[in-house]
Amino acid sequence: MPFASNNGTRIYYRWEPATGGGSDARVPLLLAHGFMQRSADWTDAGYVNRLSQFGPLILLDFRGHGQSDKPHSVADYRMELLVGDLNAVLDQMGAATVDFMGYSFGAWVGFGMARFAPERLRSLVLGGMHPYVRDPGPLQRRIDRFSSTRDRLAAGGHHADLIPEQVKVQFAENDIEALIALTTAIRDSEGFEDALETLEAPGLIYAGEEDPAFPLARQCVEGHDNLDFLPLPGLGHMEAWHQTEAVLPRVTRFLQGVK
C-alpha cells in the first residue's frame, strides 16, 4: 500500500493509469477530495472512469481522512502542512508538475497550492469553493455539532439513543477529533486570494448557482485572464459534485486545451 511521509505523517495515495487511448506520458491529474470524503469517492462518483481516458490520475487521502494519518492537533492542519503532504506524494512519485482538480475542501487546498507551491501546478480545476477568508459561523456550528454528538455517544444510554443511525455510522467511519481539529484550522485560516495575483497557471473555477460559495467563487476570477468561471444553474453544493455530466464535459475540454 503506497504512502508518502511528511515529517512523520503518512499520506495514502494511489496511481490510476491512463485508459481508452490516454497516455501515461501526459502530466498526471491529481484529484483532491472534499471534507469527510476520501480518494475512493472519486471512483464511486464516476470521475476516475471518465478522466483516466485522457491521462493518468493521482488520488490521495488528505490527512485526517481515509487511510492517511489523523492527528488531533489544530496545528497539524495548517495549510503549509496540507500542501507539504501533496508535495511529499508528488516527490515520491517523481511528478514535477500536475494538473490539479479539487472539490470543496479539496479546492480550498488547491488555492493553498497556488499560494505555497505554484511551481507544481500546470493547471487548476477548483469546484464549490473560493480563496477568501471563510465565514466562521457555519464552521463553528459544525464544530459544535460534532463535539455535541461525540459527547452524547460517549455518555451512552438515552443520550446516544437520540442520535440518528446514519450519524452514528458516519462517526464510526471517521476520526471526529481529527475532523474537529481540521475544521478549527479552516475557521482560523487566512485566505489565499493574494496567490491569484501571481498565479500563472490557467484555471477553471466552477460552482452551483445554489451553492453558498457561488458568489465568491465567481468573484475570484475577476481581473484574472488565466482564470475562467463555469456556473452550474440550479445546482447546490453536493449536487454539483454528484452530477458529473454537468461538470466533466467542460472540465475535459479545459484539460485537453492545457499546454
Residues 112 and 147 in one domain: no
Q: Half-sphere exposure (CA, 13 Å, Cβ side) for 128? A: 21
Whichever domain contains 54, its CATH number is: 3.40.50.1820
Q: Which domain range does residue 28 map to?
A: 3-133+190-257
pLDDT in tens, 198-238: 999 999 999 999 999 999 999 999 999 999 999 999 999 99
3-state secondary structure of 82: helix
Residues 42 and 139 in one domain: no
Residues 37 and 158 in one domain: no
Residues 197 and 100 in one domain: yes
Q: Which triple of cell numbers denotes residue 48? A: 476516475
Residues 102 and 153 in one domain: no
pLDDT in tens, 60-104: 999 999 999 999 999 999 999 999 999 999 999 999 999 999 999
Backbone phi and psi for residue 168, each to the nearest 5 degrees, phi listed first: -60, -40
Total domains, the chain: 2
This prediction has a pTM of 0.95
